[in-house]
Structure 1
Amino acid sequence: MEQFSPSDMKTILHSKRANMYYLEYCRVMQKDGRVLYLTEASKENQYFNIPIANTTVIMLGTGTSITQAAMRMLSQAGVLVGFCGGGGTPLHMACEVEWLTPQSEYRPTEYLHGWIKFWFEDDKRLQAAQQFQTARIDYLERVWSRDKDLKGEGFSIKDALLVAPFETFYQRTEAATKQSDLLLTEAQLTKVLYKYAANNVDISDFTRQHQSTDKANDFLNHGNYLAYGLAACCLWVLGIPHGFAVMHGKTRRGALVFDVADLIKDAIVLPWAFICAKENATEQEFRQQILQKFTDHKALDFMFDTVKAIALQDYTAQQIEEHGL
């Protein structure tokens, strides 16, 4: 069988790739030039092909193993691999998100250079964080305005209950003088969105708990980690290390993953976690729903566009204009 070259494997841009996989109780291996996963059935073993050239992220959950040959092919195709616990929740969730990233010396350097130009200056890093927050809410408004399924479930950006909180968010984000101001404003709005979503689906007394076992919290955790996978993929492709965060502080080595994932979490993961909990969906049904919505609303494209715009922005020219110099 003809072997693909590494360049052939990467013909589909990461921002356009359709697949993310969460696998459990299987063995991932290379066979006849393809990457497969093997499940052990009662009577016979079953092999399933993974179209790696059209895959962004593979999450390996409980009971999985992977061969060196499979990792080599995944690396050639630019697929990120993450080891996680059951249900897609990483084992190291208390510390940071960990991804095994393909090693390539030919990724672009312009985005890292652009990021470094502003990152070491507090005022410019704050400005980038404000842009992240504004982009996040703009995306939420766009998704909630266009998604007919969300509208059918009663989610409306024009709801009277959301008008004042969004106005407050924009005002406080613009007036913020440090990252902690932005984090507080973000937390206050997210709390409002949790309450709004819970009321929409008639879930009473909802409390966000990362270690909880109720379905809404479980689905929020699972959906968030899918978003972390997309964010890690975006940053790897652009060549920006995960430690150069603008929102979550300098002390967390994977913090920029959280910053980028936040761009899409409230817009997509949050409402569908509650809707699927109301419908008593299975974990797989929820995951399929989230991945479909990521595709429908071009979540990965949005991440790439936002990060690239912030990295290549001319902050010096903008400061000169703002201060009239």
Structure 2
Amino acid sequence: MENFSSSDLKAILHSKRANIYCLEYCRVMQKDGRVLYLTEGTKENLYFNIPIANTTVILLGNGTSITQAAMRMLAQAGVLVGFSGGGGTPLYMANDVEQPIEWLTPQSEYRPTEYLQGWMRFWFDDEKRLIAAKMIQAARIEYLTKIWQKDKDLKQNGFNLTDLESALSTFNQRTESATKQNELLLTEAQLTKALYKFAANATQTTDFKCEHKSTDLANDFLNHGNYLAYGLAASCLWVLGIPHGFAVMHGKTRRGALVFDIADLIKDTLVLPWAFICAKENATEQEFRQQILQAFTDHKALDFMFETVKSIALTTHAEIDKNA
């Protein structure tokens, strides 16, 4: 490691990094200037390299351990590390009830403060915070409309916008006319219910009911994909230096709520349809994970998160002040 510095390891922007790792039953360690994970086989132990400069998030699931030296290198590379349950889903909760994954954020005294300062300019004003929440909801629907219109695989599996025009129109109208956060949350819940019904019909999934603790593949994949989206959101907010407690949608009393706000930008567009499609195809957990991570990459989900958060923090103050 004598030949490398933390600035060398951060050469790839977080929004351009390709990898998310969800590791189970292995030991993460530093060896010969690299971060590796070790699996124990029946005949031999196998080492696998983790390209930390091109990694955003590492989730440590069941049966994992990590060395201090590995954590030091991950911190230098700006990789977000979290402990979770099996498959990225928190079968065992961490020490904060509202944030099911316990994130270990790399420490740096030199991260930019401009985005936090921009966020704080409006956050303490209820009306301006509501306007920012509406911007997130508008960006969420814009992203869904854009991706579902062009993604051939989703179209082939019955995910088109024709049957959702009425629901999306109603969502936009109610979002625009909302006067407090609770109204936005109710409108969001109604849209999510409509999207679940649409996805179930498109994939011919019978008797679907959204359950956090589930016994069916669709719910398992939804939980799995959502927590991967939370990882992207947490990584985005850490890089921009905005604490997770400054939510605009899910309530300012929940410590990790801003992670949920930002993850919502992509969950309906990417996680929801692929959870139902992969469940219909009886895919394995690994196959679903590969599919959803590929969807994140193909549709530049992390880029979209960065663009939206930066826009709200820096370039929308005139609009917020005008609308407020």
Same fold (TM over 0.5): yes
Asked if the contact 2:221/2:288 (under 8 Å) is kept, the reply is: yes
Which segments of 5 or more consecutive residues in structure 2 lack a partner in the other structure?
Answer: none
Q: Distance in 2 between matches of 1:223 and 1:320?
A: 36
2:40 matched residue in structure 1: 40
Alignment of 1:70-85 (within 5 A): 70-85=70-85
Q: Return the offset for 1:3.
A: 3.4
Shift of 1:98: 2.4
Q: Counterpart of 2:130?
A: 126
TM-score by length of 1: 0.96
Q: 2:145 aligns to what?
A: 141
Q: 2-side partners of 1:81 and 1:321: how far apart?
A: 40
Q: Is the 8 A contact 2:28 2:37 kept in 1?
A: yes
C-alpha offsets along residues 48-87 of structure 1, whole Å, 9 cap, x if unaligned?
A: 0000000000000000000000000000000000000112
1:150 to 154, 159, 172: 154
Structure 2 CA distance for aligned equivalents of residues 167 and 9 of structure 1: 45
State TM-score, norm by structure 2.
Answer: 0.96
Deviation string 1:7-49 (CA, Å, 9 cap, x unpaired) is: 1000000000000000000000000000000000000000000
Q: How far apart in 1 are the matches of 2:319 and 2:276?
A: 41
Asked whether the 8 Å contact 1:227–1:264 carries over to 2, the reply is yes
What residue number does 2:213 align with?
211
Instruction: Tell me how far apart the structure 2 counterparts of residues 319 and 119 of structure 1 sit (CA, whole Å).
Output: 11
Q: Which residue of 1 aligns with 2:61?
A: 61
Q: Which residue of 2 aligns with 1:104?
A: 108
Q: How does 1:155-234 map to 2 (within 5 A)?
A: 155-157=159-161, 159=162, 161-234=163-236
After TM superposition, give the deviation of residue 250 of structure 1 in Å: 1.2
User: Shift of residue 194 of structure 1?
Assistant: 0.4
Aligned with 1:99: secondary structure? strand
Amino acid in the other structure paired with 1:199: N
Q: Distance in 1 between matches of 2:159 and 2:141?
A: 15
Whichever residue aligns with residue 170 of structure 1, its letter is N
Residues 296, 314 of structure 1: alpha-carbon distance in 2 compared, 3 angstrom cutoff: closer
Question: Structure 2 vs 1, CA of residues 3 and 176 (structure 1 numbering), >3 Å: closer, same or farther?
Answer: same
1:321 Cα deviation after fit: 4.2
* Structure 1 unmatched runs, 5+: none
Shift of 1:318: 2.9
Aligned length: 320
Partner of 2:198: helix, strand, or coil? helix
Supply the RMSD in Å over aligned alpha carbons.
1.3
- CA–CA distance in 2 between the matches of 1:106 and 1:52? 20
Runs of 4+ in 1 over 4 A off after TM superposition: 319-323
Percent identity between the two aligned chains: 75
Answer whether contact 2:89 2:223 (CA < 8 A) is retained: yes
